[in-house]
Amino acid sequence: MESPIQRYLQKIHREISDLKDGKPYSTIPAMANVDPNHFGICLTTVDGYIYEVGDTRDEFSIQSISKPFTYGLALADLGLEAVDEKVDVEPSGDSFNEISLAEGTGRPSNAMINAGALTATSLIKGSGGNSPFKRILNTYSAFAGRQLSVNDEIFESELKHGHRNRALAYLLRSFNIIEDDPSPVIENYFRQCSVLVNCLDLSIMAATLANSGRNPLTDKQVMAIGPIERMLSVMTTCGMYDDAGAWISTVGMPAKSGVGGGTIAVLPGQVGLAVYSPPLDEHGSSVRGMAASQRLSQDMELHFVRAARTGKSAIRSSYDITASPSGIRRNDESMDILRDHGHRARVIELNGDLLFAGAESMVRELSALEETVELIILDLRRVDEVAEVSLRLLAEVREELQDEGRELVLIDGEGTLADTFKDVDRDVPTFPTRTAAVEWCENGLITKYGGELCLPSEVDVTDCPALSPLSAGDARKLADRMETRKYDDGHVIRRIGQRFGGVFFILTGRVTTTVEGPTGTRVRLTTLSAGMTFGELALGSDDRQETTVKAEGAVRLTVLTADAIARLETEDPPLALELWKALTRDAYTRVDLYLRETAVRIRD
């Protein structure tokens, strides 16, 4: 099925192709004969997916779209303070080739006008055996994800006819903004403007800016976030010259145009847009580039005000543990306690980026919890990026919870957020799965509100809940027919598909039961501890074991084998009947529990 985004791009490409206003740049003769009908649109997402329509592979000269990238290289080389001494960051309100130098100092208003761009080019020095221009070209190539080249014909034409830029360079030299002979700077500037790109290249360069300096196709970190932040800021206020106000109002993205017919726009964290069409308006921007950008911004809600509405809550779901229990099979006393006190433990699932807006919604949710909630489980597994402010707020919330006698518990598969609390007096309980975190909270509630008798570490077989309907004498008669067995940690006690092997009664330790999930991974159903039984459900499944049972730590149990049961039915039919009645009642109770808990566990 064709993407609706691709269909949309094809639609607006057809419609905007009818615009015949403007004409190609003619000041440089080598650029005057370009086909005015060329028109391409390309979108590249920050994860490297590309949408393109029209003439996206036709090469043209980058021209002024080179400016933010050279400016970024200067910032990366020298730092903000040193570059700011040479070129300001203020909108000039003038066209791209105006003088716009500060009175007295000669400092250009910004790096997007020609005077500021010449200054930025002068700040690039040779390094590592590469000339200044080679470093500039390598930077452009890294942003584009392929090796770019210079059109020598356009360069020679620029060199021959670029009188105003040459005059600007010498004027900057007179103020010592350009500190050395301006001739090499002029040549490097004309060369950078003559670099050949296509619409696809520009969209990848824009997406690299949107992706905090990492090329989404090559995965190379081309430039650090500091220079990228400044580049996008100046592009927002100055990238479209004396049309910047109208652009930011109607399109609302950092952008840069070039007289070669290219236009780029950047939506940080989401997408890079490039449009190519040679006919220009009075501001030196592509007529179709402006129209396509405005349509995309309006129809796709790319304006930064709309796109930044991530005031969306980071809260995916919130529920107490009675709605999603751990799956551990417990005795009646423990189940009563969890029914009465399970609301005191709450799971809060987070998702998306935990930046300021997400952190604010998280803190608001935590702050609004009832005072009766004593244990708060934060499920962070679906959280992507986490800002420093979020870590700081989370640490402060945890401290407040501790002061109120409440506990924060984390589900964090990577374990990275636990480091946030490494300097506090007590580690934050952190678990890789929801099951483990909920089990920990359940045990805490049972211990607090029921005492240790509800969580026995060792049980005599006659005290197992499954045999509770039997008299003490009958229970002892059954115990005398059982075999005692021991298993080490990780030992598989029963496998799926095995024939009925008897009824197993756990005396000490714990076992887990698992099945194969829809993706082939093992899904844990239950944890069984001292006093619990397993094995008898195989009788309802064609005498076949339906789960795998594995020891979790050292386990001691006793088993009433299939042979022992057969002898019991022959030798003591009344006792056999009482056994089956007791096991049936217990089984029906557990089947109901299994059904509810399996539905919860499959999603985990």
Q: What percent of the chain has pLDDT over 70?
A: 86
The rounded Cα 194 to chain-centroid distance in angstroms is 38
Q: Three-state SS for 304? A: helix
Cα 201 to Cα 57: distance, rounded to the nearest angstrom:
8
Q: Name the CATH topology of 461-602.
A: Jelly Rolls (2.60.120)
Tell the residue number behind the tokens 């980071």, with chain if given.
314
Look up the pTM and report it: 0.60
Please count the residues of the chain.
604
Which sign, positive or negative, has the C-alpha torsion 197, 200, 206, 211?
negative
What tens digit of pLDDT does each residue of 174-186 get?
999 999 999 999 9
Q: Which fold has domain 4-307?
A: Beta-lactamase (3.40.710)
pLDDT of residue 474: 93
**pLDDT tens sequence across 446-484:** 888 886 556 677 889 998 888 888 999 999 999 999 999
pLDDT in tens, 550-572: 998 999 999 999 999 999 999 99
DSSP annotation of 41 reads E
Mean pLDDT of the chain: 87
Inter-CA distances, 52 with 57, 113, 268, 291, Å: 10, 29, 19, 16
What SS3 state is found at 451? Answer: coil
Q: Is the pLDDT of residue 130 over 80?
A: yes
Looking at residue 525, the DSSP 8-state letter turns out to be E
How many Cα neighbours within 13 Å face the side chain of 556?
8
Once rounded to an integer, what is the mean pLDDT over residues 353-374? 80
Token pair belonging to 599: 């539905």
**DSSP for 322-378, written as a single string:** GGS---EE--HHHHHHHHHHGGGEEEEEEEEEESHHHHHHHHHHHHTS-TT--EEEE
* pLDDT grade for 416, boundaries at 50, 70 and 90: low
| 3-state SS track over 152-176 | HHHHHHHHHHCHHHHHHHHHHHHCC
pLDDT reported for residue 381: 86
Is the predicted pLDDT of residue 524 greater than 50, yes or no? yes
Per domain, the residue ranges of the chain are 4-307, 315-454, 461-602
Over 50: is that where the pLDDT of 529 sits?
yes
* Cα-Cα end-to-end distance for the chain: 31
Which whole-number Å values give the CA distances from 84 to 22, 89, 202, in the listed order?
Answer: 36, 8, 27
Backbone angles phi, psi at 69, to 5 degrees: -75, -40
Taking each helix axis as running N to C, give the angle between helix 225-238 and helix 199-210, from 0 to 180 degrees, rounded to the nearest 10.
120
Residue 539 CB neighbour total at 10 angstroms: 17
Q: Which run of H or of E encompasses 550?
A: strand 548-561
* Confidence check: pLDDT of 405 > 70: yes
> Shortest CA distance to 277 belongs to which of 247, 257, 296, 297?
257
Pair 589, 332: CB distance under 8 Å: no
User: Residue 290 in contact with residue 264, Cβ under 8 Å?
Assistant: no
CA 379, chain centre distance (Å): 15
Which position has the token pair 């829809």?
Answer: 518
**Residue 214 DSSP code:** B
Q: Is 600 exposed, middle or buried (0-12, 13-18, 19+ CB in 10 A)?
A: middle
CATH number of the domain at 315-454, please? 3.30.750.24
Q: How far apart are CA 440 and CA 460, in angstroms?
A: 25
Beta partners for 458? 508
Give dist(CA 559, CA 540) in Å, integer. 18
- Tell me if 315-454 shares its fold with 461-602: no
d(CA 383, CA 350): 6
The answer for residues whose C-beta is within 8 angstroms of residue 119's C-beta and 6 or more apart is 86, 87, 108, 111, 172, 177, 178
How far apart are the C-alpha atoms of 330 and 188, rounded to whole Å? Answer: 77
User: Which residues on neighbouring strands pair with residue 221, listed in sequence order?
Assistant: 214
Q: Which residue would you say has higher pLDDT here, 111 or 333?
A: 111
Asked if pLDDT for residue 203 goes beyond 90, the answer is: yes
Write out the two tokens for 251.
């399109």
pLDDT tens for each residue of 475-523: 999 999 999 999 999 999 998 888 888 999 999 998 988 877 666 667 6
* Residue found by looking up tokens 């890079």 in the block: 272
Q: Out of 192-206, 331-345, 532-546, which region has the weakest mean confidence (pLDDT)?
A: 532-546
- What does the H/E/C string look like for 103-118? CCCCCECCCCCHHHHH
Over residues 566-598, the pLDDT tens digits come to 999 999 999 999 998 888 877 766 566 555 544
The per-residue pLDDT for 352 is 81
- E-strand ranges in 163-305 read 195-197, 255-257, 262-267, 271-276
| Angstrom distance (rounded) from CA 345 to CA 168 | 70
DSSP line for 451-464: -GGGS-SB--GGG-
